Amino acid sequence: MDFGFAAEDEEFRAGARSWLAAHAGAATDRRAWERTLGEAGWIGIGWAEGGYGNRPACLTRQVVWAEEYARSGAPPRSGHIGENLLAPTLLAHGTEEQKARFLPPVAAGHELWCQGYSEPEAGSDLAGVRTRAERAADGTYRITGQKIWTSLAHEADWCFVLARTDPGSRRHHGLSLLLVPMDQPGRVEVRPIRQATGTSDFNEVFFDGAYARAEHVLGGEGAGWRVAMTLLGVERGVSTLAQQVGFAAELDRVVRTAVENGTADDPVVRSRLVRQWADLRVMRWHALRTLGGTSGPSTAKLLWASWHQRLGELAVLARGASAGAGPVVWSAGRPYELDADQHLFLFSRADTIYGGSDQIQRTIIAERVLGLPRGPRG
């Protein structure tokens, strides 16, 4: 794989690493951290169009920043949905007024976003949208319906919502993508979903007549499917390489555990450790090969989701019986604490489901990449 970083990229890396070392350790509040990133110019790097981003950066430097952030131990981003999903879609489909309204607050870390796609009973079938948006007499849209598995909805200021604006439409026809403010008491309700890990990163979101302005329909009424496909195309790009930095750190931790407690001497465990290492290298080469293009997102998701799930299983296998005990004695005040390996095992169970299940990814690859006949639809 012929891919390398120029001297200018490494200079950029040194600056990013130095800044993160000086600031990441002091970050406690995630919303305040987004503002710190924005003030320092680290959000929206590479948004060349219109000057809405903080600093120009070629693709390799975007990779450098993403990798250094992952290595730094800085807090998980609350603003990544606005920066990495909404912003590229706005740049591709938004009006100048929409870009001027929404991109600067994202780049400044002042407004956080969530994604209103998945719905109950629809699973990974994005075209099975039942949430509806009806045009009111005053020109606004009134949205009624439910979204589920909505990451960071409990923190978000805005949500981009895929809704059906043509009541007689079916499947991918008659959909629109609306930009909806979350601060609408009595009209928008967020209910956290408690996960097996004991945390609540995902949410249910209920819309009961929530409003969206007519000028906040992204791409125009009825263009929702086309806009949604653009967003899904950019969802897995540079961030995949940064994700692999975190995967490598998790794998290193599992290997250290296996070596220290002797389970690495077991030929089955040793074979699985080697396979995880080799597969991670393959994923990096694939990410580099497809970097900057729109092809391969389903393949990338299929690769990393199953890899990460196998790593979670290997983490508890390498621990042996000790993986069944929590890091502290549970009590009424502290009933549900997990160590890093236990959290990895439980959280990774969802990897092959969220963001499009493995079955859906295989169908997309079969039909859209390999050109095979469409399978039966319910």
**Residues annotated as catalytic (active site), given as ranges:** 235
In this structure, what are the phi and psi dihedrals at residue 180, rounded to the nearest 5 degrees? -120, 125
DSSP string, 84-137: IIIHHHHHHH--HHHHHHHHHHHHHT---EEEE---TTTTT-TT----EEEE-T
Question: Cα–Cα–Cα angle for 117, 151, 332, nearest 5°?
Answer: 140
Q: Which residues pair with 116 in a beta bridge?
A: 161
In this structure, what are the phi and psi dihedrals at residue 7, rounded to the nearest 5 degrees? -60, -35
> How many other C-beta atoms are found inside a 10 Å radius of the C-beta of residue 292?
12
Pairing of strands 132-135, 175-181: unpaired
Count of alpha carbons within 13 angstroms of residue 247, beta-carbon side = 25
Q: Residue 233 has which token pair? A: 């195309």
CA atoms of 377 and 128, how far apart (whole Å): 12
CA atoms of 74 and 26, how far apart (whole Å): 9
Q: Residue 209 has which token pair? A: 């007549």
> How many other C-beta atoms are found inside a 10 Å radius of the C-beta of residue 355?
20
CA atoms of 189 and 169, how far apart (whole Å): 27
3-class secondary structure, 286: helix
* Burial classification of residue 216, based on how many CB atoms lie within 10 Å of its CB (0-12 exposed, 13-18 middle, 19 or more buried): buried
Q: Which helix (H) or strand (E) holds 37?
A: helix 30-39
Q: Residue 100 has which token pair? A: 């001027």
